[in-house]
């Protein structure tokens, strides 16, 4: 019983202490809160060339690409050092194959994310990269 009273007292004190922050959040509006939460050097746009999604996908593509290149090197070393053992040769070939598949999947994912973010940035139209104008979808 003592623990229940103690828990209720903590909940009541927390509610009273944080009750004013709700009014401040409502008064500031959504855009004011978002602007206050964003850092000084952070981009204000989500989509587009300098947007947050473009930066995140570029970093993730770099990480996946670097890991894939490292795995190709490891697979090559395993292949060279296999000594003709068929099990080790097969494992080395699989390592290289899966690293190449990883690069291909990363590039396809990058293309898909670029298409979706380009569509959102242009308000429903995607500007193709092959020398043309916008194609509406």
CB 36 within 8 A of CB 42: no
Q: What is the pLDDT of residue 59?
A: 87
Q: What is the pLDDT of residue 37?
A: 62
Q: pTM of the prediction?
A: 0.53
- Residue predicted with more confidence, 47 or 52: 52
Question: Integer distance in angstroms from the first to the last C-alpha of the chain?
Answer: 64
**In this structure, how many other beta carbons lie within 10 angstroms of the beta carbon of residue 89?**
14
pLDDT over 70 at 121, yes or no: no
Residue 30 binned pLDDT confidence (cut-offs 50, 70, 90): low
What mean pLDDT do residues 67-92 have?
A: 92
What 3-state class would DSSP assign to 60? helix
Least Cα distance to 105 among 64, 46, 58 occurs for 64
Question: What average pLDDT does the chain have?
Answer: 75
Task: Please give the Cα distance from 99 to 93 (Å, whole number).
Answer: 10
């Amino acid at each position: 019983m003592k623990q229940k009273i103690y828990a209720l007292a903590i909940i009541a004190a927390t509610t009273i202490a944080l009750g004013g922050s709700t009014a401040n959040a409502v008064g500031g509006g959504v855009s004011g809160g978002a602007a206050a939460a964003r850092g000084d050097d952070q981009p204000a746009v989500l989509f587009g060339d300098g947007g947050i999604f473009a930066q995140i996908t570029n970093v993730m593509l770099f990480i996946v690409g670097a890991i894939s290149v490292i795995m190709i090197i490891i697979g090559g070393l395993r292949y060279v050092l296999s000594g003709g053992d068929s099990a080790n040769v097969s494992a080395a070939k699989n390592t290289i194959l899966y690293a190449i598949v990883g690069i291909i999947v990363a590039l396809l994912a990058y293309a898909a994310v670029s298409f979706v973010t380009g569509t959102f940035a242009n308000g429903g139209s995607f500007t193709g990269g092959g020398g043309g104008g916008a194609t509406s979808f």
